[in-house]
Every structure is written in structure tokens, then in C-alpha cells.
Structure 1
Amino acid sequence: MLKKCIFIIGFALMSQPLFAQLPDFTEMVEDNGKAVVNISTTQKIAQVGDEENDLPQIPEDVPPQLEEFFRRFFQGPGRGFVPRETKSLGSGFIISSDGYVLTNHHVVKNADEIVVKLNDRRELEAKLIGSDESTDVALLKVEAKNLPVVAIGSSKKLRVGEWVLAIGSPFGFEQSVTAGIVSAKRRSLPGGNYVPFIQTDVAINPGNSGGPLFNMKGEVVGMNSQIYSRSGGYMGLSFAIPMDVAMNVVEQIKTNGKVSRGWLGVQIQDVTRELAESFGMDRPYGALVSKVIAGSPAEKAGIKIGDIIVEFNGQEIETSGELPPIVGMTPVDEEARVKVIREGDSQTLEVKIGLLPDQEQLAASENQEKIVNRLGVVVSELTAEQREQLQVDKNGVLVQDVKNGPALDAGVRRGDVILRIQNHTIRNIADFEEVVSNLPVEKSIAVLIQRRGSPVFLALKIEK
């Protein structure tokens, strides 16, 4: 009996430090819960008829004098386009005592009415001050004073493995609290080129969007925005917008009424292990430039296809996804230092950052660009998967498109891999561009391609 008591006491003493290490979130929730709000939106959509009946439409060939008769016969009096309301729910948090509220752009997108429900059950109609789809940030304003506010922290100081807490309204259940740890930082997601997301394992579900992510100091370090899910619900992967990004958007909306971003003017991709070897790098890192847009800041600064951007304004670039957010937050017209690896040597270029054009302008300018090489082909680097599929061990560039020109006349097709031009081995895009720019005119040129696993020589000639 004595031994059993000693064992129990010993186990309790051993367990006490383990329990002591677990965080207590109660005070944090009590201090900050009042500044977290529920956001409901209403959008009016016009539809024909009503929600209960599928009404036939008036025939298009009806004479004008009979149109009223058919309208009454088919649709009944007063029927036609009637508004249908759709509602959505989300979360948000108060960042100033005079009524500024932060939430996600997708929570309030296309909303005709936005209602903010406070912790004390008051419901206030909100005005949309501005929003930014690229970062998924929206700024609202309600008419109220002396509101509780959250403390804004910096996501830069956040560490992987650190405890974090979320408050929101999943599925409409207000003031729900969940906790977890930071799983990773600076995550790049599809459609989120200008946001280095914070990844956590905090349980987030529909309705949590726009809610705050707190660190253990009670500071908001992120805004919950997305989840990775195959079912529509939480699966252990949640993503939050860093507060440094969100507050940058807020300041721009307040000051200028819109968001402006820095622009370099390049298309980039990750450096794979095979590409790193072909470029003479000891390991894969950086952002490989696959295209330089004509007239862009990058072109004016001398950045070339095949350059690998490894540092921007002193910040190291490990993956291509890290570059766009850094460039986007750089002020327009600021001089930036860009360190690149070119043909095995590193050099630093000075770039005057431009203003990011909207997508329509960018697409229009790209469509107007002339073919950048004399052969009339658009090429790209080969990924590891493409090499395996096309049976190309090393070297070569992939033909993405063939325009009118010497290559088309010679029989080069989309999907071919260009391995050699004359006696020059084509290791990458930089080799390809250099060799093509120096080809003679009015002379037959041998081009070795690989098609469906078989090498084939083609002869082409560049006209004057």
C-alpha cells in the first residue's frame, strides 16, 4: 500500500511540469473577445418569376401589341424580375475605437448590405471603406464610439511552433475559440501571389474567415482567411494573412482609397535540383526568371531570362513564391537592390520599382509583345516531371508555342524539346536566347529536337 502511494505521488510530481507547460488562454479570450465581431452580408440577385414556380418566358416573336397579354397569361400580374436575397456569414475584428473593422474581401464581396454584430449583441450597419482582392483584405466602418479594440502585433516576429489562438464564428457559432501552433510561415498559395501566408493547425471552418489570429501576448498577428480541405471542413491546414500585409493594405486604403503595389515585371519559377545542376549551383534556391516583360522595370535594369534572383533588398529568396509579396510591398519608384546569379556568377542590379498594372492592362500589353526570338518560338525550362515524361535526361528547352517563322517552316512543333542548335548544346533558356540571337541569316541551320522520345534533326533558315 505504501509503495502504491509513493508511486502515485511520484507520478503526480513528474506530471506537474508537463501540465504547467500547457498554455492558459482564458485571460486572453476575456481581454480580446469583445473586439471580435460577427459579420453578416446580404446580396440581392434579380431572377425571373418567383422561387416557387418555374414560369415560362414570353416568346421573342410576340408583336408589341400582344406583349402585355402574354405577360399576364404566362407570368401573372406583377410578375417578372423579382429580387432574391443571398446571405453569408463571416468574422472580423475592431482595430480602432471609432469603428474601423477588418475582415476578408471575400466575406463582403458584392454585398448590398453589411451588418456587424458586436459582442454586446448590438447590430450596426457597416460601410465598406475599401477592399483588396489580391490580399483578401477589406476595411469596414461602423458609426460608434469607445469600442473595444484588439492589439495589433507583427507577424515578422512569429516563430514556427509558437502557440496561436483564433476567435470567430464557424458555421455561425459566435465567439468560438480554437487554438494550435504555427505550422509554417511564408506559404505561397494559388491565387495568393502577394500574401506570404501563415500556416497553422488551428481549427478553422467556414464562418471563421476574417477573424483574428492571436499570439500568446494577446496581439493579432494574422487574419484567418483560407483552409485546405477536400470535404469543405477543417482538415488540419489553416492559413492566415500576416498582419504586416493586412495593415499595409489598411493604411493605403485610408490614405489613397486604393491599394498600389510594386512591380518588377518578370515571370518566375522555382529552381529544381536538375536546374540548379545545369546552372552550376550547389543547391536549388532562388527565383528563376523565365520571362522579362517588355518595358518593365526589370528590363530597364538589365535583368535577363535565365537570371536567378537570390536576394531582394537584402532579403534572401529561397523559393519563387517568396519574391512577389516582397516586391508588392516595396514602394513605387523606390530603388531596390536585386542580387542575381547569371552564368554561375553573382551580381547586384539596381531596379527602380514600378507600379503594378491591373490584370487587363498586363494581358493586353503581353498580347501586343512581339516574338522575342528570331525563330518564332516560345520556350520554357523543363520541370522534373516533364523530363521524365518526355524522356529527356538533361539539357534542352521545351517548345510551348510556335508562331509564323523559321521554326514553323522547318517543322518544329509544340511539345518538342530543343537540344542543340548548330554545334551549341542548349542547357537552358539563357543558352537558347544567346545562341538564337547570334545565328546567321540566309544559311541552313541544324536543330536537334527530341519528339516522342526520339531525337530528330531539322534544318531551318532565317530570312533577312
Structure 2
Amino acid sequence: MTTQPTRLRRNALASVAVAALVATGAAGVGLTQPAVPAYAQSLSKNPIETPDHPPGSFASVVDKVKPGVVAVKVKLDDSADSDDDSDGPGQQQVPPQLREFFKRFGQGGPGQGQGGPGQGFGGQAPKRQGQRGAMGSGFIISADGYVVTNNHVVDKAKSVQVTLDDNRTLDAKVIGKDPKTDLALLKITEGGTFPYVSLSKAAPRVGDWVVAIGNPFGLGGTVTAGIVSARGRDIGAGPYDDFLQIDAPINKGNSGGPTFNVGGEVVGVNTAIASPSGGSVGLAFAIPAETVQAVIDQLRADGKVARGYLGVQVQPVTKDIADGLGLDKAKGALVDHAEAGTPAAKAGLKSGDVIEAVNGSAINDAKELSRKIAGIKPGAKVELTYLRGGKSDTATVELGVLPNDTKVAGTERGASRDGQPRLGLSLAPASEVGAGSEGVAVMEVDPDGPAAAKGIEQGDIILDVAGASVSRPSEVAERVRSAETSGRKAVLMRIKNAKGITRFVAVALNKAG
């Protein structure tokens, strides 16, 4: 049997992985549900059971928190890609990194469940004439009606509604979205006070009991239970992957819904599953509460997320590297290069340094360093502990702003527009991101794109395209389009890597269709 991971995406049967979901409007299908209290209350105080002992029943914690969980219904913008009238945005909206995860599990990508695109469990999703919508889950985090859900549930939303546990359907607006962590913050626009749940301040342990509540297949408040199977999972969905893996059954429509500990606190936001059929097989992934708190705080305050920027290119410390450096353990992040003019360079960090801790918190690998720094606001001062020449030292660094105004050569990454050639690169002027005074810096690489196939990596600098020097992403795009228009099958680039070594690379022109 071929295993297929399924993203909890917006669609017409529910917004989990691949299939479509019809916005039926019914959140309970005849279920009798307790009314939401008229007064606002936190629903996650006073633990029901201790995490050390399995409860005889989850009923008490469910009674407490279920009123804070909502179904999220979305009408999609007309520009959203779709396979049929009732779909959410189509496969092109899935990040390329997540598509790589699908491929590793033996599946070409979302939208390819049994029966093909738009078909959940082998059947064509029913359509509602004249309406294109999606559905997912969410949860209220404050008495005044702020709601957390997944970005992929509300991306391209024309309008949003939430259905409460008492079957009231209320209008909501999108306050902010963060595609890199797949989180979004909504606000119920109609007045009133609402029951809410709280995010856990402590990370769950592997083996802890958890309860997931959501809106699978549009059925409304559905409860499943299981345990935390693993922590720190990197499924290739984005640069800051740090998922909890749980075995509580999660299905299409649970996107954005909460996973609770037995004390009634939210420990994660359900976001993805891996499955051969599109249904639950006990492999579900949730964004941990620590990440959710940091992102939601910024979305609530500013409507966007600004991430700290150190300005180093790093790699993991392998066992061989550890041996070569005389380290006892293969831990930390090895600095390949500190970009000139960046916070790291100003603080004196150099190639060969091994960053071991940030503000006293140990760093296990390069990706953990990226997550730690990105989770700190720009302008904050952090203390880095690092090894140089076998000796430990510290440096105080004032973080900059992570450059995120990147452009893609040819068209937006992951999209297909105007039939233009697409390289699969996110770019920024090198001079604007502290990567030197010449060329265009590669900020992200689509692992499925033609540039990745030629070995172009994040941190490389594009110096020339088709024989002409470039300094801005728009110039790269113009040269690529010109090469395609002239009938060339590839475009020649001169690339400089982090070590300063230059080479010529011929990248195949992949015309978007």
C-alpha cells in the first residue's frame, strides 16, 4: 500500500488534505450540544486529571473546553485556484516543501487521494450551486472573540463565519496570517462575550494523553483522543517545522482545531496528517502551543509577524565535524559564513564558530537555531554562547528584521501565472539582506523546482543571468523571460556560494502551465 500524506486543507468535504468540502452550514447534524454560557469564561482552568495517570473518561475535560471550539466556514475569493466550484484553493497553494513531504510518502501531491483531485475517499465531493467555499476548525482564545485557525483554512477568503458549539453562526474577519507557520488569527465581529480556552505554557511529554476537537467532514464538534507520539517533527512544511505528532484520529475538517491536554489546555493546533487514503491512520501533526502563542501575539498586535534576523549561514554539526573540532557531542549550529553588515558580523561571529545556546537555552542543530531566532522580535538583544578554537565565549547580538519581502523569478513560488517560466526561487537584493554589495540572494529554494535540480541552494548569490549582471529579483525575472521568449530551453547563471566560489549553472526553463 502506498502511503500518502494529507495536508489538512480547506476544501469541500473538510479542510484537511486533498479533497473538497461543501460548506453545508450545519455544524452539528442534529447533535444536541450544551449552550454557551452567557458570560465569558476561561474553559481550561482547574486540571481534570493529572497527566501522569490515564483518565477513566475524557468527558469532564470535553464538557469544559468544547464550547470554546468552533467550525470555520469560508467563502473563497474568485481568484483562488480550484478544481470545482466548491473547492478551496487548489494544489498550487500547498507550499513546495510540503509537496516534498507528500512525495517522500509515495504520493505526488495533495489533491490526489483515491479517485483523483477533489475526491475524498474515492467519491466526488458534492457541490453547492453558485458557492465556492471551504471549511475547517478553530478555537476561541479570549472573551472578546479572537479565534485561532490555520492559514490554509482562510487563505484567499472572501468572507469568514464561525459556528459555535450552540449552533450560532457569526461573522468573523481575518486579523492576520502567517504562512510560514500556517497560523491565522480571526476576530468575531458580532458583539458579545465568548467562552474561551487557553494555550498551555508547558510542552507535553511523549506519551501524554491528548484530546482533539474539531469539525471533521463538516459534522461539527467531534472529539477524538490519543497520545503524543513524538515531538520536534520536521515534515518539510516550512522553515520552522517543530510539529507534535499525535495519534488521536484527525480527519478532513480538523484543520486549525485544537489538541488539548487532560488539564484542558491547548497543546497544539492540528495542521497535517499522513495517510494512504485521506483518512486518519494515527499520524497527525500539530503546531505546538509555544509557537502558536508567539505568532498569535504578534498577529493580534500588528496583524503580521516580524522575525528576528541573525545573518549567518549555518549547518548541522555532524559526528565527523564534531570529531574534527574536538567536540564531545554532535550538537549546535556551525557557522559557515556571517554576512557582512549583519547583526552576527557586528557581534564578531565568524566562520567556524559553533553556536551552542541562545539566552542560555541549548541549541541542538542548525534548524533549532533558526526557529529560536525567528521566534524573537527584531531589535531584541540575545546572548549567544559559542565555541571558537575549543574555547567557549558569549556575544550579545541585537537582532535585525528577517528579510521577507522576497520575490520569485518568473512568478510567485508555487503558482502558475501567465505561462511565464518558473525557476522555483525566492530572491532578494543581496545588498538589502546583508549578503554583499553585488548580485541577488537566494532566500528560499523550491525542492521540486529546476533551480534545486541544479544544486542552487539557500544563501547562494546570483551574479549574472544570460550574460548580464543582476542586482534585483525583477532583473532576474526579466532575463529569464527574455531567454524563454527567444526559444532557449535553459538560462545560464553565474552563481557564488557561501564560500565565495563562483560557478556557471544552466537552469532548465520550466514554463508554468
Fold match by TM threshold 0.5: yes
How big is each residue's C-alpha offset from its partner over 1:125-176, in whole Å with a ceiling of 9 and x where there is no partner? 211111111222211111131322113321x342222111110112222211
Listed as ranges, the matches of 1:331-350 within 5 Å are: 331-350=377-396
Distance, in Å, in 1 between the alignment partners of 2:218 and 2:461 is 49
Secondary structure of the corresponding residue to residue 428 of structure 2 = helix
Instruction: Give the aligned partner of residue 427 of structure 2.
Output: 363
What is the identity, as a one-letter code, of the residue corresponding to 1:363? L
Tell me if structure 1 keeps the 8 A contact 2:431–2:437. no
Distance, in Å, in 1 between the alignment partners of 2:383 and 2:356 is 11
Change in CA separation of 1:314 and 1:230 when aligned onto 2, cut-off 3 Å: farther
Secondary structure of the corresponding residue to residue 152 of structure 1 = coil
Distance, in Å, in 1 between the alignment partners of 2:377 and 2:462 is 38
Report deviation, 1:291. Answer: 3.3
Compute the TM-score of the two structures, normalised by the length of structure 2: 0.58
Listed as ranges, the matches of 1:399-414 within 5 Å are: none
- Alignment partner of 1:92 out of 138, 144, 151: 138
Instruction: Give the aligned partner of residue 39 of structure 1.
Output: 72
Query: Larger relative CO (CA 8 A, sep 6+): 1 or 2?
Result: 2
- Alignment partner of 1:271 out of 275, 300, 317: 317
Tell me if structure 2 keeps the 8 A contact 1:44–1:84. no
- Alignment partner of 1:149 out of 190, 196, 206: 196
How big is each residue's C-alpha offset from its partner over 1:169-218, in whole Å with a ceiling of 9 and x where there is no partner? 12222211111112233333424333532222222222111111111111
Instruction: Give the aligned partner of residue 326 of structure 1.
Output: 372
Instruction: Give the aligned partner of residue 121 of structure 1.
Output: 167
Distance, in Å, in 2 between the alignment partners of 1:346 and 1:258 is 37
Listed as ranges, the matches of 1:298-313 within 5 Å are: 298-313=344-359
Tell me if structure 1 keeps the 8 A contact 2:203–2:289. no
Report deviation, 1:371. Answer: 9.5
Distance, in Å, in 1 between the alignment partners of 2:136 and 2:226 is 20
Secondary structure of the corresponding residue to residue 253 of structure 1 = helix
How big is each residue's C-alpha offset from its partner over 1:415-453, in whole Å with a ceiling of 9 and x where there is no partner? xxxxxxxxxxxxxx99x88xx9xxxxxxxxxxxxxxxxx
Instruction: Give the aligned partner of residue 104 of structure 2.
Output: none
Change in CA separation of 1:292 and 1:245 when aligned onto 2, cut-off 3 Å: same
Tell me if structure 2 keeps the 8 A contact 1:152–1:220. yes
Tell me if structure 1 keeps the 8 A contact 2:339–2:436. no
Tell me if structure 2 keeps the 8 A contact 1:45–1:85. no
Distance, in Å, in 1 between the alignment partners of 2:227 and 2:320 is 34
Instruction: Give the aligned partner of residue 267 of structure 2.
Output: 221
Distance, in Å, in 2 between the alignment partners of 1:359 and 1:268 is 22
How big is each residue's C-alpha offset from its partner over 1:275-304, in whole Å with a ceiling of 9 and x where there is no partner? 222222222111122333332211111222
Instruction: Give the aligned partner of residue 175 of structure 1.
Output: 221
Distance, in Å, in 1 between the alignment partners of 2:327 and 2:462 is 31
Instruction: Give the aligned partner of residue 186 of structure 2.
Output: 140
Tell me if structure 2 keeps the 8 A contact 1:94–1:102. yes
Tell me if structure 2 keeps the 8 A contact 1:263–1:297. yes
Listed as ranges, the matches of 1:180-195 within 5 Å are: 180-195=226-241
Secondary structure of the corresponding residue to residue 32 of structure 1 = helix
Change in CA separation of 1:276 and 1:359 when aligned onto 2, cut-off 3 Å: farther
Secondary structure of the corresponding residue to residue 112 of structure 1 = strand
CA RMSD of aligned residues (A): 3.1
Change in CA separation of 1:136 and 1:43 when aligned onto 2, cut-off 3 Å: same
Report deviation, 1:101. Answer: 1.2
Instruction: Extract unaligned runs of 5+ from structure 1.
Output: 1-19, 53-82, 373-377, 379-399, 405-428, 437-464
Instruction: Give the aligned partner of residue 236 of structure 1.
Output: 282
Instruction: Give the aligned partner of residue 25 of structure 1.
Output: 58
Deviates more, 1:124-133 or 1:361-370: 361-370
Change in CA separation of 1:22 and 1:311 when aligned onto 2, cut-off 3 Å: same
Distance, in Å, in 1 between the alignment partners of 2:286 and 2:154 is 17
- Alignment partner of 1:294 out of 329, 332, 340: 340
Instruction: Give the aligned partner of residue 208 of structure 1.
Output: 254
Tell me if structure 1 keeps the 8 A contact 2:203–2:290. no
Distance, in Å, in 2 between the alignment partners of 1:402 and 1:112 is 38
Secondary structure of the corresponding residue to residue 321 of structure 2 = helix
Deviates more, 1:141-150 or 1:123-132: 141-150
Instruction: Extract unaligned runs of 5+ from structure 2.
Output: 1-52, 86-128, 408-425, 443-459, 465-496, 502-513
Change in CA separation of 1:188 and 1:292 when aligned onto 2, cut-off 3 Å: farther
Change in CA separation of 1:233 and 1:359 when aligned onto 2, cut-off 3 Å: farther
Alignment pair present for 1:317 and 2:381 = no
Instruction: Give the aligned partner of residue 486 of structure 2.
Output: none
Change in CA separation of 1:105 and 1:318 when aligned onto 2, cut-off 3 Å: same
Identical pairs, percent = 42
Secondary structure of the corresponding residue to residue 63 of structure 2 = helix
Count of matched residue pairs: 330
Distance, in Å, in 1 between the alignment partners of 2:312 and 2:194 is 45
Secondary structure of the corresponding residue to residue 349 of structure 2 = coil
Distance, in Å, in 1 between the alignment partners of 2:65 and 2:462 is 59
Question: Which structure has greater helix proportion?
Answer: 1
Secondary structure of the corresponding residue to residue 250 of structure 1 = helix
Alignment pair present for 1:255 and 2:288 = no
Distance, in Å, in 1 between the alignment partners of 2:288 and 2:337 is 29
Secondary structure of the corresponding residue to residue 116 of structure 1 = strand
Report deviation, 1:402. Answer: 11
What is the identity, as a one-letter code, of the residue corresponding to 1:235? V
Change in CA separation of 1:44 and 1:21 when aligned onto 2, cut-off 3 Å: closer
Tell me if structure 2 keeps the 8 A contact 1:182–1:200. yes
